[in-house]
Structure 1
Amino acid sequence: MAKIKISELEQTIHQLLHAAGLNEDNASIATEVFMRATLRGVGHHDVYDLPGRLEGLSKGKIKANPEMVLIHKYAALENYEGDNGLGELGGMFIMKRAQQLADEHGIGLCAIRNSNHLLSSTPYLEQPAEEGYISYIITRGAPTMGAPGRKEKVIGTSPMGYAIPTNRDYPIMFDACLAYASNGVLSDKTRAGEEVPSHWGLDVDGKPTTSPGLISKGTRLPIGGHKGFGLTLFGEVITGILAEGQIIDEPQPGSGLVGIPSHTAICIKAGGLLGQREFTHKTTEILERMEARASGLQIPGQHSYQRKAKLLSEETIDLTANLLDKLNEWAQKFNLKTLE
């Protein structure tokens, strides 16, 4: 592992994205997303995805500066064309727009089609929650998950997250896909040589397996069986359909590609009904009442903010030598200063 100054990493990410074709504003937006994702301290769906983004940008597979055009609007509902832009740009755009709609209507829903992978949900949730909004975001993609009792890949995993403001130094915040494990977690487990519970997924023959590598090649299963499957189907509707994008294995017009992501963001002006002060008082009371019944209870979002605070206080972060080499290779291609 290599210890890197957080400020230098942030500067490098911005410079790499700008050199890859993003204009100054878009490079700043995407950099914020990568940094917020990376400061979770989990090592996947963050800066580790940056080399792949740079590859896609350099080959023209992803548009550096997409034109996000309004398709339809109805009161507090809007959907947009994502123009094959970075998912980081599309995700932040719809959350900002949903927040603006919430200011006007109390609640806002904004969807976008023809986007790309957007890392974790956390970067899009933190800022609205810090500003007093309830925030939610969900993504659809290619069918990579099965249904209870079936080995076929029938639907995506509906990666989603929400954040709720409290009076503590962290919001209630949840970020997960609706399969037992994301591809990132399976990859981490495979590299570490670890086994996983057999109910997480099936191998290519449809048999339960404890091998994360075999699950990656086979079929992931939904959390809670039919319950997770039902929630994922709802996610497909409010993303693929409301964004007027693709659904399940529907090919994209023109390219014929399957699995093009759509995202939907929902933002609620939390203090609109009972006032912001009373709202956060009650959300904090929820936590206190649960903790009184179970001392030491882990609250969703608590550890994420603790890791973030620790990294920021130390002003450094550990990166693998492999990632550092990849980032420096791109820096050299763009004639930029490398990370030491």
Structure 2
Amino acid sequence: MNTSVAEKRVQLESELLELGAKAFEGLGLLPKDARDVARILVTADLFGLSTHGLSRVESYGERLSVGGINARPDIKVEQRAPAIVSVDGDNGVGPLVGMRALEAAMEMAKQTGVGIAFARGSNHFGPVSPYSLIAAEAGFASIIGSNATTTIAPWGGSDARLGNSPVGFGVPNPGGKPFLLDMAISVAARAKIRNALKRGELIPDTWATDKGGRTTTDPAAALDGFLLPIGGHKGYGLALLVDLFAGLLSGAAYLTHVKSWVDAPDEPQNLGHFFILIDTRRLGSTGWLTERMNDFAAILHASPPAEASRPVLVPGEIELNNLARHRRDGLALDPAVLTLLEEYAAKA
């Protein structure tokens, strides 16, 4: 493909969804499964989270190609209690397992007011916020998390024993923007450290440690070392809690039992996720919730900004504004990502 042409290609959400679905069909997924994976990844791109969007077709595709991920899993949902289900992902693509777990949790929440799904046998499931948005648009408040490959040392330790496990929260607003908070547990992502190394820049000493566990401003040493958790020992505790829910309670791998997809791309990771949903319609009418959510946001927005050019924001507003803009104007993918998607789609 001509790169100069690819750089100018702005595509609408429907076109991205179609291309993403065809690409994953080309990688062996069934059409419905491929559409569900594309839905999560395209939403990430529309949010502005390009590192967790359709660009993931490269890493997912590599593992699908070598059998490290099962292209056609037999995902099983087992009810454990009136509001609790277990989901066996059968080593499927993470966003597919995530969608099945989310759907199961929503179904439980419709029946009982609260729904909890614990998923195992999964892989990297993308960012949390697309799931939170789907839940919020259906009227559910949510707490969602996943464990991950080890990149963080225990507080005071000197080797990687826990992952940068993401966790997210969502609260619907039927007449406005929902609250969406999606965060990893490290201060900075490894991608930011790699970019600093490429630019020849130092990094803050709060981002990472060297391989001996000592804080560093050298990005090369940081990449050989470990990420630092947010909030020091408090972030360390939060990362462990996410892994306890996502990994240990789900029956998935946890801590150092999680396989690295870099070191062992052909082996199942057995990642775990959890989805805790609350049906807000059991608490009051949509009008009641809209009024309270809009008032909640208004109180925060009314705070005079410390810098006039940076008004106070509620978590999720940046992503939702990006979503609205990209749905209106379209989105141009990185040309290399577009080329790879088209190559896989051609095999469908």
TM-score by length of 2: 0.87
| Structure 1 pair 221–159 and aligned structure 2 pair: CA distance change class (3 A) | same
Q: Is the 8 A contact 2:258 2:271 kept in 1?
A: no
- The yes-or-no answer on 1:311 pairing with 2:311 is no
CA-to-aligned-CA distance 1:102-160 (integer Å, 9 cap, x gap):
11111111011110001111221111111221022100123221233333212112211
Task: Tell me which moved more, 211-220 or 39-48.
Answer: 211-220
> Partner residue of 1:326?
340
> Is the 8 Å Cα contact of residues 132 and 271 (structure 1) preserved in structure 2?
yes
Structure 2 residue aligned with 1:240: 247
Distance 1:144 1:151 in 2: 11
After superposition, the C-alpha distances for 1:286-335 in whole angstroms (9 at most, x for unaligned) are 211222234521111101111111111112x2222332343344345x2x
Q: Residue 281 of structure 1 aligns to which amino acid in structure 2?
A: E
Residue 3, structure 1, aligned to residue 2, structure 2: no
Aligned counterpart, 2:293? 283
1:299 alignment partner in structure 2: 314
Indicate whether 1:260 and 2:270 are aligned: yes
Q: Is the 8 A contact 1:2 1:319 kept in 2?
A: no
Q: Secondary structure at the match of 1:39?
A: helix
Amino acid at match of 2:328: S
CA contact (8 A) 1:251 1:257 kept: no
Give me the whole-angstrom Cα distance separating, in 2, the residues matched to 1:294 and 1:97: 43
Q: Summarize the Cα distance change of 1:79–1:186 in structure 2 as closer, same or farther, 3 Å threshold.
A: farther
Residue type of the partner of 1:260?
A: N
Whether the aligned pair in 1 keeps the contact of 2:113 and 2:279 (CA below 8 Å) is yes
The one-letter code sitting in structure 1 at the alignment partner of 2:334 is: T
Q: Which amino acid aligns with 1:178?
A: I
Give the Cα separation in 2 of the matches to 1:192 and 1:124: 34
Residues 66 and 168 of structure 1: is their aligned pair in 2 closer, same or farther, counting only changes over 3 Å? Answer: same
Structure 1 residue 72: Cα displacement: 5.5
Is this contact kept in 2: 1:147–1:221, CA < 8 A? Answer: no
- Which residue of structure 1 lines up, in the alignment, with residue 24 of structure 2? 17
Equivalent in 231, 234, 241 of residue 224 of structure 1: 231
Is the contact between residue 249 and residue 259 of structure 1 (CA under 8 Å) also seen in structure 2?
no
Instruction: Tell me if structure 2 keeps the 8 A contact 1:139–1:159.
Output: yes
TM-score (norm 1): 0.89
Which region of structure 1 is more displaced relative to structure 2, 143-152 or 263-272?
143-152
Q: Are the equivalent residues in 2 in contact too, given 1:2–1:320 (CA < 8 A)?
A: no
- Aligned residue identity for 1:290: L
Q: 1:85 to 1:190 in 2, by over 3 A?
A: farther
* Alignment of structure 1 residues 87-106 onto 2, 5 Å: 87-106=94-113
2:70, 2:91 within 8 Å by CA — same for their partners in 1? yes
> Which one is further off, 84-93 or 143-152?
143-152
**1:165 CA displacement:** 1.2
- Name the residue aligned to 1:51: 58
Match of 1:156 in 2: 163
Q: What one-letter code is carried by the residue in structure 2 that aligns with 1:319?
A: L
Structure 1 position 62 matched with structure 2 position 69: yes
Distance in 2 (CA, whole Å) between partners of 1:258 and 1:150 is 27
1:108 correspondence with 2:115 = yes
Contact 1:203–1:214, Cα closer than 8 Å, also in 2? yes
Q: Distance in 1 between matches of 2:258 and 2:240?
A: 18
Cα distance in 2 between the residues matched to 1:146 and 1:155:
6
Counterpart-to-counterpart distance in 2, 1:116 and 1:302: 28
* CA-CA distance at 1:284 after TM superposition: 2.1
**Structure 2: segments with no counterpart, 5+ residues:** 1-6, 306-310
- State the distance in 1 between where 2:268 and 2:160 align: 13
